[in-house]
Amino acid sequence: MDIKQSEFIISAVKREQYPIDGRVEVAFVGRSNVGKSSIINALTNRRGLAKVSGTPGKTRLINFFLINKDFYLVDLPGYGYAKVSKKELASWGKTIETYLMHREPLKRVVLLVDCRHKPTKDDIDMFNWIKHFNYDYVIVATKSDKLSNNDLRKSEKVIRDTLDLGNTNKLFFFSSLNKKKREEVIDFIFKDVVEKEEVEEI
């Protein structure tokens, strides 16, 4: 599929602020320094759509982006950033949990992990949270340009073993810098979810 149009709709923290038009939602979540804003901009081909900051933990609200006037890409707050208070961490966690609980339009959660590092306890906890709420998921390992092909193979094994993925096809490596296989990762994340919903509506 092609992403031809993307626009920011709203930043929300409360359930009452979420869109109510029933469009399909695909949510992105990951650690604060995993490059979430960068991958959103790379996939939509819009440099400033999601705000990229040199300070991890900048995204504290849930940002809704309308894609192709058809479905929402939802940017959830980053987690795992140490230089914030426990009160702020609890607030961000509650914001994410509130969104994940019984969000009917949400059809898939994209968990972003840094391919250069073993998934952290926070990553594992988030992954278990996603599964607890019974959402379909895929995992995208970011910053793949930083590793050689040999190291990428090692990284894949570490990620699969740590998250107990086995040999499923739910893992994809991507670099927001070189954008190699951009079309493939767009299909990997969105295509079957969006097309399935369109078929069911007919």
CB 62 within 8 A of CB 72: no
The yes-or-no verdict on residue 56 having pLDDT over 80 is no
The whole-number average pLDDT for the span 165-178 is 94
pLDDT exceeds cutoff 90 at 131: yes
Residue 143's closest CA among 113, 109, 186? 113
Average pLDDT of span 167-195: 94
Q: Return the HEC string of the chain.
A: CCCCCEEEEEEECCHHHCCCCCCCEEEEEEECCCCHHHHHHHHHCCCCCCCCCCCCCCCCCEEEEEECCCEEEEECCCECCCCCCHHHHHHHHHHHHHHHCCCCCEEEEEEEEECCCCCCHHHHHHHHHHHHCCCEEEEEEECHHHCCHHHHHHHHHHHHHHHCCCCCCCEEECCCCCCCCHHHHHHHHHHHHHHHHHHHHC
Above 70 in pLDDT, residue 59? Answer: no
Query: Residues 32-52: what's their mean pLDDT?
Result: 90
- Is 101's pLDDT higher than 60? yes
Q: Has residue 196 got a pLDDT over 80?
A: no
Quick: pLDDT tens for 3-16. Answer: 999 999 999 988 99
The first and second tokens of residue 140, run together, are 């995208």
Please state, in angstroms and rounded to a whole number, the distance separating the CA atoms of residues 22 and 8.
Answer: 17
Q: Tell me what pLDDT residue 134 has.
A: 92
Q: In a 10 Å sphere around its CB, with 0-12 CB exposed, 13-18 middle and 19+ buried, how is residue 22 labelled?
A: exposed
Structure tokens at 108: 């898939």
Model pLDDT, residue 2: 92
Residue 25 to residue 35: CA distance in whole angstroms: 20
The C-alpha atoms of residue 43 and residue 62 are separated, in whole angstroms, by 18
Q: What is the pLDDT of residue 82?
A: 52
Q: Does the domain spanning 6-201 belong to CATH 3.40.640.10? A: no
pLDDT average, residue stretch 94-122: 93
Q: Which pLDDT score is estimated for 63?
A: 94
Q: What is the mean pLDDT of residues 149-156?
A: 97
Whether the CA torsion 143, 139, 18, 129 is positive or negative: it is negative
User: 80-94, 96-110, 131-145, 167-181: lowest mean pLDDT where?
Assistant: 80-94
Q: 133: closest CA among 89, 99, 179?
A: 99
- pLDDT value at 80 more than 90: no
The domain spans of the chain are: 6-201
Token pair, residue 165, equals 């993925």
- Contact of 25 with 71, CB cutoff 8 Å: yes
Query: Would you place residue 158 in the very low, low, confident or very high pLDDT band (cuts 50, 70, 90)?
Result: very high
